[in-house]
Amino acid sequence: MSFQPKFGQAADEFERYRPEYPPALLERILRELPPARRNRAMDLGAGTGKFTRELVPHFREVVAVEPDALMAGKIREQFPQVVVRIATAEDSSQELASADLVAIANALHWMDSARVFANSHLWLREEGILAVFDRPLPKASPEIDALVMAEFRGPWKPHRDPRLKRARDWQALVRTAPGFAVVEEAKLAYVLPMTPAEYVGFWRSTSYGSAYARSLPASESYWSELESRFRAASPDGMIPVDFSPTLLLARKS
């Protein structure tokens, strides 16, 4: 399937409202990569660089691979030292056996995993690490979740890409990737308090929420109305949102 941009027009919302990753996630990755093996890291499907920025202080060179030019532009704006490749992870190029880490953050479901794992195996040095992490859809209170599910089953449904369903299977894909041996699998607890406006912002940053809103004559009115419903369902003004990711670390064997 040829690449079709899904997020570029929501790049500002993606950068502003997508949460950062829990510190423990990077700590676990670095635990498998001592300082002498932190020369080059690659972030595949890097988006606006949410995880790229975590890698910059720890690696001599960071390569961000992102096919959407509008998303990749956010990385260039903030981190001119990062090597940005506007390409898919399937079609990107990289010197063989030149990377110590290949990371895929919340993006494997958009990719042809067999091709990407094969590329990663070629790009990684011996004993290099493949780090893949993802999370299910965020969960909040039952009242807020009910409001979100109504949008899922209603206006957002026609705009959801079928590939998003593959998020359920990604762990099995990593475990069985040829040429890799899983060295750690962990779910990291990560609950963030968000205002109703911030939580609406998260859904604005999704491919389907943003696509639906763009189909409306008055998209801001739609988001304002959804925010009002979130606010009515969260009397104390804050929404605890569970963004807990699962991390799989696999070593090139």
For the chain, domain boundaries = 8-252
Of the listed ranges 2-16, 77-91, 231-245, the one predicted with least confidence: 2-16
**Average pLDDT for 61-84:** 96
The pLDDT tens digits for 19-30 are 999 999 999 999
29 DSSP assignment? H
Q: Say if CB 202 and CB 230 are below 8 A apart.
A: no
Q: What is the 3-state secondary structure (H, E, C) of 180-244?
A: EEEEEEEECCCEEEECHHHHHHHHHCCHHHHHHHHCCCCHHHHHHHHHHHHHHCCCCCCEEEECC
pLDDT computed for residue 226 by the predictor: 98
From 101-110, 165-174, 183-192, 220-229, the region with the lowest mean pLDDT: 165-174
Parallel/antiparallel/unpaired status of strands 40-44 and 180-187: unpaired
The torsion defined by the Cα of 165, 179, 116 and 105, in degrees rounded to 10, comes to 60
CA distance 132 to 186: 11
Q: Where is 114: in which H helix or E strand?
A: helix 113-123
pLDDT digits (tens, 9 = 90+) for 198-244: 999 999 999 999 999 999 999 999 999 999 999 999 989 999 999 99
Query: By the 8 A CB rule, do 97 and 121 touch?
Result: no
Is the per-residue pLDDT at 168 higher than 80?
no
pLDDT over 90, % of the chain: 90
**Confidence band, pLDDT 50/70/90 cuts, at residue 10:** confident
Residue 8 predicted with pLDDT over 80: no
Please, which residues bridge with residue 105 across strands?
133
Say yes or no to pLDDT of 3 above 60. no
How many whole angstroms separate alpha carbon 210 and alpha carbon 160? 11
Residue range 44-68: mean pLDDT, rounded = 97
Residue 173, phi then psi, degrees to nearest 5: -65, -40
User: Quick one: fold of 8-252?
Assistant: Rossmann fold (3.40.50)
Per-residue confidence band for 191, with pLDDT thresholds at 50, 70 and 90 = very high
Asked if pLDDT for residue 157 goes beyond 80, the answer is yes
**Spatial distance between the Cα atoms of 237 and 85, rounded to a whole number of angstroms:** 41
Q: 167: pLDDT confidence band, cut at 50, 70 and 90?
A: low
